[in-house]
């Protein structure tokens, strides 16, 4: 008997996770549930950022392996990619040149079929086994981004600004205004992939201009 196919959101929903490298796309993003942690500072140097990412992976794999595989083995899945919301109190002041002032929310999606009780069980298991730093800051909640413009970006994170400007201009030319937080979805592992080959989805919430 062939092995049951794992749910992989990146493959099942190409509109969300496989946008074009060349042409921006305007898309309505559905509401999703995420594990989330908030923080402040340059992701290249902040220990808090590293700890936040670590606990997100800890809880995501604890949920998958220690809870879902035991309670619902037929519902195996690929842990979704790491995502980040990047912002400042005044978004018009947000720039790549002032990373120490960046505020961020790092997050990993929770599959839709998972129950609240299973999430709580995973958090309890993680606290009792590893109790990682920042576990007390971990939360889970729904995030409804609405209409967004997005594109696939290939390259180093620090070289993103021209592509970010491209999607902003595209949205504005289509009659939209920028609204909300800059959003990135990391499809490559920077520990294993050269900077020039990193794949990142760049996403920006927008609203129709009056």
Q: What pLDDT, in 10s, does the model give residues 53-69?
A: 999 999 999 999 999 99
Residue 1: per-residue pLDDT: 44
Domain map (residue ranges) of the chain? 14-31+146-210, 33-143
The predicted-structure confidence for 128-159, as pLDDT tens digits, reads as follows: 999 998 999 999 999 999 999 999 999 999 99
Domains 14-31+146-210 and 33-143 share a fold: yes
Residue 100: per-residue pLDDT: 85
Residue 199: per-residue pLDDT: 97
What kind of architecture, by CATH, is found in domain 33-143? Alpha-Beta Barrel (3.20)
CA distance 100 to 43: 8
> Which residue from 121, 118, 125 is spatially nearest to 77, judged by alpha carbons?
118
CA distance 102 to 94: 7
Residue 118: per-residue pLDDT: 98
> Which residue from 25, 28, 9 is spatially nearest to 17, judged by alpha carbons?
9
In a 3-state reduction of DSSP, which class is residue 59? helix
Residues of the chain where predicted confidence (pLDDT) is lower than 50: 1
> Which residues touch 112 (CB under 8 Å, ≥6 apart)?
32, 33
Residue 101: per-residue pLDDT: 86
Superfamily for 14-31+146-210? Regulatory factor, effector binding domain (3.20.80.10)
């Amino acid at each position: 008997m062939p092995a049951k196919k794992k749910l992989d959101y990146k493959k099942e929903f190409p509109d969300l996770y496989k946008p074009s490298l060349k042409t921006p796309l305007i898309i309505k993003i559905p509401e999703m549930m995420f594990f989330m942690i908030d923080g402040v500072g340059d992701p290249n140097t902040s220990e808090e950022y590293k700890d936040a990412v670590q606990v997100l992976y800890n809880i995501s794999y604890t949920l998958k392996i220690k809870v879902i595989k035991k309670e619902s083995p037929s519902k195996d899945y690929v842990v979704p990619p790491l995502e980040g919301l990047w912002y400042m109190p005044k978004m018009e002041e947000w720039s790549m040149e002032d990373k120490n002032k960046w505020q961020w929310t790092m997050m990993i999606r929770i599959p839709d079929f998972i129950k609240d009780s299973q999430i709580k069980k995973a958090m309890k298991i993680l606290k009792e086994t590893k109790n990682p730093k920042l576990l007390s800051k971990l939360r889970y909640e729904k995030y409804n981004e609405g209409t967004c413009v997005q594109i696939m970006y290939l390259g180093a994170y620090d070289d993103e600004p021209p592509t970010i400007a491209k999607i902003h201009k595209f949205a504005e030319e289509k009659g939209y205004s920028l609204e909300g937080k800059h959003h990135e979805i990391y499809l490559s592992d920077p520990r294993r992939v050269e900077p020039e080959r990193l794949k990142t989805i760049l996403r920006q919430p927008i609203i129709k201009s009056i």
